[in-house]
Amino acid sequence: MSSHQTFAPSLNTSKRETPRPLRIVHLATTDVGGGAAIASYRLHQGLVRLGVDSEMIVAQKLTDDSRVHGPKTLMEKLMPRLAHHIDQMPRRFLQTANQSLLSPAWIGSNALKRARALKPDVINLHWISNGFLRPEALSAFTTAQQTPLVWTLHDMWAFCGAEHYTEGDTRYVSGYTAQNRPQGERGFDLNRWAWKRKMRVFPRLQQFRVVSDSRWLGECAAQSQLFREHRVLPINYGLDTDIFKPIPKDVARQILNLPRDKKIVLFGAINASGDKRKGIDLLANALHSYFLNTELRGNLDVECVVFGASQPPKSDAISPLEFGFPMRFCGSLTDNIALAVLYSAADVMIVPSREEAFGQTALEALSCGTPVVAFRVGGLPDMIQHQHNGYLAEPFDVHDMARGIHSILSNDAAWQTLSHNARQSVLGGFTLEHQARRYLEVYEELLAVRT
Do 101 and 182 sit in the same domain of this protein?
A: yes
pLDDT at 10 over 70: no
DSSP string, 371-440: -EEEES-TTGGGTPPBTTTEEEEPTT-HHHHHHHHHHHHS-HHHHHHHHHHHHHHHHTT-BHHHHHHHHH
Q: Which of 69-83, 166-180, 360-374 has the lowest mean pLDDT?
A: 69-83
**Can you tell me the distance from the alpha carbon of 356 to that of 217, in angstroms, rounded to the nearest whole number?**
9
Do 71 and 220 sit in the same domain of this protein?
A: yes
Q: Each residue of 375-404: pLDDT tens digit?
A: 999 999 999 999 999 999 999 999 999 999
Return the pLDDT at 20: 73
pTM for the model stands at 0.91
Do 98 and 229 sit in the same domain of this protein?
A: yes
Higher model confidence: residue 389 or residue 269? 389
Higher model confidence: residue 144 or residue 190? 190
**Can you tell me the distance from the alpha carbon of 80 to that of 71, in angstroms, rounded to the nearest whole number?**
9
Report how far apart, in Å, the C-alpha atoms of 332 and of each of 15, 152, 251, 306 are: 44, 26, 22, 10
The answer to whether position 186 is within a domain reads yes
Domain count, the chain: 2
The answer to whether position 127 is within a domain reads yes
Q: Each residue of 185-237: pLDDT tens digit?
A: 999 999 999 999 999 999 999 999 999 999 999 999 999 999 999 999 999 99
Do 190 and 129 sit in the same domain of this protein?
A: yes
Return the pLDDT at 312: 64
Do 435 and 423 sit in the same domain of this protein?
A: no
Return the pLDDT at 288: 82
Q: Which of 55-69, 163-177, 291-305, 430-444 has the lowest mean pLDDT?
A: 291-305
The answer to whether position 244 is within a domain reads no
Instruction: Name residue 366's amino acid.
Output: L
**Can you tell me the distance from the alpha carbon of 417 to that of 428, in angstroms, rounded to the nearest whole number?**
16
Q: What is the DSSP letter of 148?
A: P
pLDDT at 13 over 50: no
Q: Domain of 255: which CATH number?
A: 3.40.50.2000
Question: SS3 for 113?
Answer: helix
Do 439 and 422 sit in the same domain of this protein?
A: no
pLDDT at 366 over 90: yes
Do 210 and 339 sit in the same domain of this protein?
A: no
Do 33 and 125 sit in the same domain of this protein?
A: yes
pLDDT at 338 over 60: yes
Q: What is the mean pLDDT of residues 251-267?
A: 95
Instruction: Name residue 348's amino acid.
Output: V
Which residues, 6+ apart, have CB-to-CB distance to 73 below 8 Å? none
Return the pLDDT at 314: 58
Q: Each residue of 90-143: pLDDT tens digit?
A: 999 999 999 899 999 999 999 999 999 999 999 999 999 999 999 999 999 998
The answer to whether position 243 is within a domain reads no
294 phi and psi, to 5 degrees?
-65, -25
Do 261 and 219 sit in the same domain of this protein?
A: no
Q: What is the DSSP letter of 167?
A: T
Do 42 and 127 sit in the same domain of this protein?
A: yes
The answer to whether position 293 is within a domain reads yes
pLDDT at 302 over 70: yes
Q: Where residue 144 falls among pLDDT bands split at 50, 70, 90?
A: confident
Residue range of the domain that includes 384? 249-427
The answer to whether position 281 is within a domain reads yes
Return the pLDDT at 313: 59
Return the pLDDT at 275: 80
Do 152 and 175 sit in the same domain of this protein?
A: yes
pLDDT at 317 over 80: no
**Mean pLDDT, the chain, integer:** 90
The answer to whether position 319 is within a domain reads yes
**393 and 374 Cβ atoms separated by less than 8 Å:** yes
Do 123 and 188 sit in the same domain of this protein?
A: yes
